[in-house]
A and B are shown apart, each in its own frame.
Chain A
Amino acid sequence: MALFKRVENAIDASIGRRRLGYIALSLITLYFLWFPNDASQSDYYKTVFISGFFYAIMASSWALLAGIAGQFSFGHMAFMGIGAYVAGLIARDGILVAALGIQVGPDYISAVGAILIGTIVAGLVGLVIGWLLLRLRSAYLALFTIAFSELFRIMMLTEYDYTGGSNGLSLRQLLEIADVGVARQVEYYLMFFLLIVCLLAMYWVANSPIGLFLRAMREDEDAASALGVNVVRYKIAIFVFTSMIVGLAGAIFYSDVGSERIIPEQLEVLQMSLIIAYAVIGGMESLIGAAAGAFICRYMLEAMRKVVIGLPFGMTTADGSTEFVWEPGAWRYALFGVVTVFTLRWMRNGLLYPFITWFSGRDIAMKETVSIRADDEAAPDALEGGSA
C-alpha cells in the first residue's frame, strides 16, 4: 500500500493523474484503431469487436437515460428495433403517403437515406412515448416501457407478411464491398467511429447545462421544477435523443455491418436485461464506464465459450490431458448475473468506477450522491429496537 501511495504521489507530482488518464485513453483508442490490421487476429474476433461497439453504444445511451436522467426505460431495444425495421421496410417497399400523394419507390432510396429515416422515426416514436411517460415514475415507468417493447416485438413477430416474422428482415447493405477481408475492416472502423461520435455527443449533452438539469431532476423532480427547470421539456428531449442514438446504431448495425438481419428475438426483454447488466457492471452513472463495461462483458462472454486452462507442475486430468477444458454454456450468463447483482449491492457505481475516479482525480459520483437522505422508509427501523 505504501508503495502504491508513493507511485501515486510521484504521478501526481510529475504528469498528473488526469493527463495520465488521457494518455491511457488515447493508447486504448490507438490499439482499437490498429486492431483490424493485426494479422494474427481472426475475423471472428473482429466481428466480436464490432458487436462489442454496438452494445457499447446501447449501454452508454441507456446509462445516459437511466443513470443520469433517472428514467428507467426497458424500451431501449425496441427503439433500436424501430430504427432497424423502419430502415429495412423503407429500403424494401419505398414510402407511400397516400394522403399527400407522395410515393417514392424503393429504387430512389439509398441505404443511408433509409437509415436516416429510420433514425428520425425512432425519434418521433420516442417523442410520443416520452410524452406518455411523463405521468409515470420508477416502477410504473419500467412496466410501461416493458409493455411497449413487448407489444412491438409481438407485432414484428406476427406480421410476418411485412417483417419476415421470426426469420427476420434483411436491411439494404450499407457497404457494398466485394472483398470480405476489406469489408470486415471497413465495418469495424465504421462501428468504432459511430461509437466515438455517439459518446462525444452524449458527453456533450451530459456536461452541458442540460446534463445538470437532468441530474437535478433525477434527484428530486419537484425541487428541480420549483427552481425553474423545465422538467417536461428536458425529460422528453433526453428520451428522444437517446431513442435516436439507438435507432441510428440499430439501423447501421443491421445494415449488414454487424449482422445480416434483424430478428424479433433481439427485442426480447432478456436482451434488454443484458444491456442493463452491461451498463450496471460498467457503471450506470458514467457513460464511458458503461461503454467499456459493455465491451468487456461482450468480449468475456465470447471468450468464455471455451475455457482452456493449462495445468501446472505436469499435472494431468483424468483422461491424461495436460489442459483442463471447460465449456460453460449457460453458466457464463449465470456467473454474469452473479456479478451484476454483487456489483449492484456492493459497488453501486460499477466495477470500473475505482479506475475512473482514480484517473479523474476526483470522486464524481460520490459528490453527487453522498447525501443519503433519511427516507421516511428508513425511520421505523430506528424505532424497532425493543419491538422484536
Chain B
Amino acid sequence: MAFDLNLTTLWLLFAGPLWAAVGLLLLPRAGSSKSADEAIPATRLQIAGVISGFALGPLGISLFYIAPALIRRATLAAGIVLAVFLASQALVRVTDPQLPSVLWLLLAGPLWAGIAAYFIPRQYRAVEANDDNVLTAAALGGFAIGPLIFGLMWKHSPKISRDWMIAFGSLGAWQIYTLFAIHNPSNPCVAAPFHITYLTQQTANGVVIGTIYSLMAVGLTLIYSVQGIVSFAHGQLYMVGGYFSFYFLLFGSDALSRATGVEISINPILGIPVAGVIVFIIGAVFERVFLKPMHDGLIERVSEYAILITFGFGFFIEYTTLAIAGPFPQRTDRFIEIRRFTFPRTQITDDFFFGPINIIGDRAFAMVIGIVLIFALLYFLQRTWTGRGLRATSQDRQAAAVTGINPTNMNTLSFGMGSMLAAMSGAALIPIFAWVPWVGAEMVGRSYVIVVLGGLGSVPGALVGGIIVGIVEALGAGCHPDPSRGAAYKEAFALVIFALVLLLKPTGLFGREQH
C-alpha cells in the first residue's frame, strides 16, 4: 500500500477522527442544556457530533453547538456526503488494488447483507421489539460493516430510525466508490483534478432531467393515491402527449402561415397545454367507461383488472399511434434559441479548479416548465377546494363522501389529471428527444422506479425520487468504464435501485403503508 500524503489524507487520518471524537463528547451536552420541549435524542446528537467534526472540524461542531435546531436529516445527510467524499478522496490515492476490500465487496458484503436481512428481523420479532425498517437497516448494515452489525442490532434491538439507514447506506456507497476508484484510476469520475467538475456536471444533468422525469411520475402517484391503482398506460399517454403537441405545432403553424402569408412557427411551449387538455379528456373518458365499474363493485378482483385494463389501453394507444404517425423519429423546434447555459470556470487554488459546467438550454427550459407545473399542482392540491377534495378522497373515501365530496368525480379527475401530467411532460420533452411511438415504454419504466422509490402516493416523494433517478442514471452512464455500455445500461442502474427498494422497503422514502 502506498499513500500519496497530501492535505486530504492528513485530514482523514489525523484531524478528522480527532474532531469527530471531540464532537461526539461535546454535542450531547449542548442538547441536554436546552429546554425539554425541543430535546433532540442523544443518539442523533452523537451522530451529528461525529459527522460534523469529521467533515468540517471545529467549524461544524461550533455550528451545531450554537444552533442545535440545525441538526436535521438534511444537514446530517449533507455532512455525511461531505465526509464520505473526503474519505474517498484519500482512499482513491491508495495505489495497491490487492486490497481485501475487493473481496469484501464482491463476496462477503452481499453475503453478510443476506444473512443479516434474514436473521435480524426474526430476532426483533422474537423479542417483540419494534421491527419497522429493520430489514432495510440490517441488509444495508450487513453490507457496510459485515458481522459487526449483529453486535449493534442483535442484543439490544434498538429502534431503527432513518439515520441508521443513511449511515449504513453511505458507508456502503463509499466502499463501492472506493473500490471503483482503485480499479479505474483513470476514469473521469475519479481522476483528479477534473473529477469534481465532471461529477458536478453529471449531477447537474441528472437533476435537470430528473425534474422532468418527476413531472411524469407525479401523475402516476396522483392516480395511485386516489384510486389505489397503478396506471400501466402512463408511458403511452406520455408518448401520445408528445405527438399531440407535434401535430398541433405542425398544423397550427401551417394554418397560421397560410392565413397570414408570413412564415410563422408556433413555439413548442404552446403545445404543452394543448396536449394536456386533449389527454385529460381521453383519460377522463377512459376512467368513466372502464375504471368506474371497478369502483362500483361490478368487477371482481379489482387490482388485477386495473393492471390489465390500463395495460390494454396503453397497447391500443401505442399501435394506433404507430399506424397514424409511423415509425419515423419526429422532433419539434426548440423552446429557446440559447444552446446552453454555462457556469464559468473558477480557479480555487493553483491545482484545483471547478467548472465550467454546461446545461443544455432546452433541457433547462423543460426543467423550469416541470418545476412550474409541479408547484402549480401542489398549489391546486393544497389551496383549492377540489384539490383538497382529491387529497381527502385519497385519505379516506368514506369520510370524504360524508363531507360532500363525490368520490366518483374525484376518481375521474385524478385519472384525467394524472394522464394530463404525463402528456404535458411528453410535450415538454419532444423538442429534446427523438419521438417514436415506443418512446413511452422506456420512460414509464423510469416513472415506476421514481414512484416506488419516493413512495407510491406521495407527491414530494415523486419529486425527490425523480431527481435521485436522474442523478443515478447520469452518474452511472457517465462513470461506467466502457462509455458505450454505460449508455446502454443507463436504464439498468435505475432498475437495480428499483428492485432493491421493492425488496427492502416497498413503501419507499415517503410512502404510506401498502394498501
User: Which A residues form the contact surface with B (CB < 8 A)?
Assistant: 66, 70, 72, 132, 135-140, 142-144, 146-148, 150-151, 154-155, 157-158, 218, 268-270, 273, 276-277, 280, 328-331, 333-334, 336-338, 340-341, 344-345, 348, 369, 371-375, 377-381, 383-384, 387-388
Chain B residues near A146 (CB-CB < 8 A)? 445, 448
Q: Are A273 and B311 within 8 A (Cβ)?
A: yes
Shortest CB distance B500–A (Å): 10
A143-B230, A345-B290, A381-B295 known; A387 vs B319 contact (CB < 8 Å): no
Q: Are B503 and A132 within 8 A (Cβ)?
A: yes
Q: Are B502 and A341 within 8 A (Cβ)?
A: no
Q: Are A334 and B506 within 8 A (Cβ)?
A: no
Would you call B363 an interface residue if the criterion is a C-beta within 8 Å of the partner chain's C-beta atoms?
A: no
Which listed residue, A148, A269, A280, A383, touches B401 by the CB 8 Å rule? A383
Interchain residue pairs with CB less than 8 A apart (7)? A139-B229, A140-B502, A276-B311, A330-B319, A374-B297, A377-B295, A381-B401
Q: Which residue of B lies closest to A377 (CB)?
A: B295
Chain A residues near B405 (CB-CB < 8 A)? 387
Would you call B276 an interface residue if the criterion is a C-beta within 8 Å of the partner chain's C-beta atoms?
A: no
Which listed residue, A72, A276, A330, touches B322 by the CB 8 Å rule? A330
Chain A residues near B228 (CB-CB < 8 A)? 377
Q: Are B407 and A268 within 8 A (Cβ)?
A: no
A270-B438, A344-B305 known; A277 vs B295 contact (CB < 8 Å): no
Chain B residues near A151 (CB-CB < 8 A)? 492, 495-496, 499
Which listed residue, A147, A218, A345, A378, touches B295 by the CB 8 Å rule? A378
Q: Are A344 and B312 within 8 A (Cβ)?
A: yes
CA distance A372 to B514 in the complex (A): 23
Which listed residue, B302, B305, B485, B491, touches A377 by the CB 8 Å rule? B302
Chain A residues near B313 (CB-CB < 8 A)? 337, 341
Chain B residues near A276 (CB-CB < 8 A)? 308, 311
Q: Which of B380-409 contact A (CB under 8 A)?
A: 397-398, 400-402, 404-409
Q: Are B398 and A72 within 8 A (Cβ)?
A: no
CA distance A328 to B320 in the complex (A): 11
Would you call B47 an interface residue if the criterion is a C-beta within 8 Å of the partner chain's C-beta atoms?
A: no
Would you call B488 an interface residue if the criterion is a C-beta within 8 Å of the partner chain's C-beta atoms?
A: yes
Q: Mark B283-322, 1 if CB is under 8 A from A, else 0.
A: 0000001100101111111111111110111111111101
Q: Which residue of A lies closest to B452 (CB)?
A: A143
Q: Which residue of A lies closest to B298 (CB)?
A: A372
Chain A residues near B318 (CB-CB < 8 A)? 270, 337
Number of interface residues of B (CB under 8 A): 64
Shortest CB distance A29–B (Å): 30
Additional A-B contact list (18), CB under 8 Å, known A147-B495, A269-B441, A330-B323: A140-B452, A140-B502, A142-B230, A270-B318, A270-B438, A276-B311, A330-B320, A331-B319, A334-B319, A340-B312, A341-B290, A344-B308, A344-B312, A377-B228, A377-B297, A377-B397, A381-B407, A384-B401
Shortest CB distance A317–B (Å): 21
Would you call B489 an interface residue if the criterion is a C-beta within 8 Å of the partner chain's C-beta atoms?
A: yes
A157-B488, A277-B312, A280-B312 known; A380 vs B398 contact (CB < 8 Å): yes
Q: Are B323 and A331 within 8 A (Cβ)?
A: yes
CA distance A138 to B165 in the complex (A): 27
Q: Are A329 and B323 within 8 A (Cβ)?
A: yes
Shortest CB distance B79–A (Å): 32
Q: Are A369 and B315 within 8 A (Cβ)?
A: no
Chain B residues near A137 (CB-CB < 8 A)? 303, 514
A155-B492, A380-B407 known; A373 vs B300 contact (CB < 8 Å): yes
Would you call B498 an interface residue if the criterion is a C-beta within 8 Å of the partner chain's C-beta atoms?
A: yes
Which listed residue, B309, B323, B503, touches A135 by the CB 8 Å rule? B503
Which listed residue, B307, B320, B409, B491, touches A388 by the CB 8 Å rule? B409
Q: Are A375 and B302 within 8 A (Cβ)?
A: yes
Q: Are B491 and A154 within 8 A (Cβ)?
A: yes
Q: Are B488 and A158 within 8 A (Cβ)?
A: yes
User: Which B residues form the contact surface with A (CB < 8 A)?
Assistant: 228-230, 232, 289-290, 293, 295-309, 311-320, 322-323, 397-398, 400-402, 404-409, 438, 441, 445, 448-449, 452, 485, 488-489, 491-492, 495-496, 498-499, 502-503, 506, 514
CA distance A328 to B319 in the complex (A): 11
Q: Are B312 and A158 within 8 A (Cβ)?
A: no
CA distance A150 to B496 in the complex (A): 10
Query: Which 7 residue pairs across A and B have the least CB separation, nearest first?
Result: A337-B316, A378-B297, A333-B319, A330-B323, A138-B303, A330-B322, A334-B319
Chain B residues near A374 (CB-CB < 8 A)? 297
Q: Are A143 and B502 within 8 A (Cβ)?
A: yes
CA distance A70 to B296 in the complex (A): 22
Chain A residues near B398 (CB-CB < 8 A)? 379-380, 383
Q: Which residue of A lies closest to B409 (CB)?
A: A388
Q: Which residue of B lies closest to A329 (CB)?
A: B323
Q: Which residue of A lies closest to B397 (CB)?
A: A380
Chain A residues near B232 (CB-CB < 8 A)? 142
Q: Are A381 and B296 within 8 A (Cβ)?
A: yes
Q: Are B448 and A372 within 8 A (Cβ)?
A: no
Shortest CB distance A235–B (Å): 16
Shortest CB distance B57–A (Å): 43
Q: Are B406 and A142 within 8 A (Cβ)?
A: no
Q: Are A387 and B401 within 8 A (Cβ)?
A: yes
CA distance A337 to B309 in the complex (A): 10
Chain A residues near B303 (CB-CB < 8 A)? 137-139
CA distance A331 to B438 in the complex (A): 15
Shortest CB distance B323–A (Å): 4
Q: Are B323 and A384 within 8 A (Cβ)?
A: no
Chain B residues near A277 (CB-CB < 8 A)? 312, 315
Q: Which residue of B lies closest to A66 (CB)?
A: B304
Chain B residues near A144 (CB-CB < 8 A)? 498-499, 502-503
Shortest CB distance B389–A (Å): 11
Shortest CB distance A284–B (Å): 8
CA distance A148 to B445 in the complex (A): 11
CA distance A341 to B308 in the complex (A): 8
Chain B residues near A142 (CB-CB < 8 A)? 230, 232, 307
Shortest CB distance A169–B (Å): 17
CA distance A70 to B300 in the complex (A): 13
Q: Which residue of B lies closest to A165 (CB)?
A: B488
Which listed residue, A148, A273, A344, touches B499 by the CB 8 Å rule? A148
Chain B residues near A269 (CB-CB < 8 A)? 441
CA distance A379 to B438 in the complex (A): 39
Q: Which residue of A lies closest to B498 (CB)?
A: A147
Q: Are B319 and A388 within 8 A (Cβ)?
A: no
Which listed residue, A66, A337, A348, A379, touches B315 by the CB 8 Å rule? A337
Shortest CB distance B408–A (Å): 6
Q: Are B445 and A150 within 8 A (Cβ)?
A: yes
Q: Which residue of A lies closest to B303 (CB)?
A: A138
Q: Which residue of A lies closest to B311 (CB)?
A: A273
Q: Are A387 and B441 within 8 A (Cβ)?
A: no
CA distance A139 to B232 in the complex (A): 10
CA distance A270 to B441 in the complex (A): 8
Chain B residues near A150 (CB-CB < 8 A)? 445, 491-492, 495
Chain A residues near B441 (CB-CB < 8 A)? 268-270
Chain A residues near B495 (CB-CB < 8 A)? 147, 150-151, 154
CA distance A351 to B511 in the complex (A): 40
A269-B441, A341-B313, A378-B297 known; A139 vs B307 contact (CB < 8 Å): yes
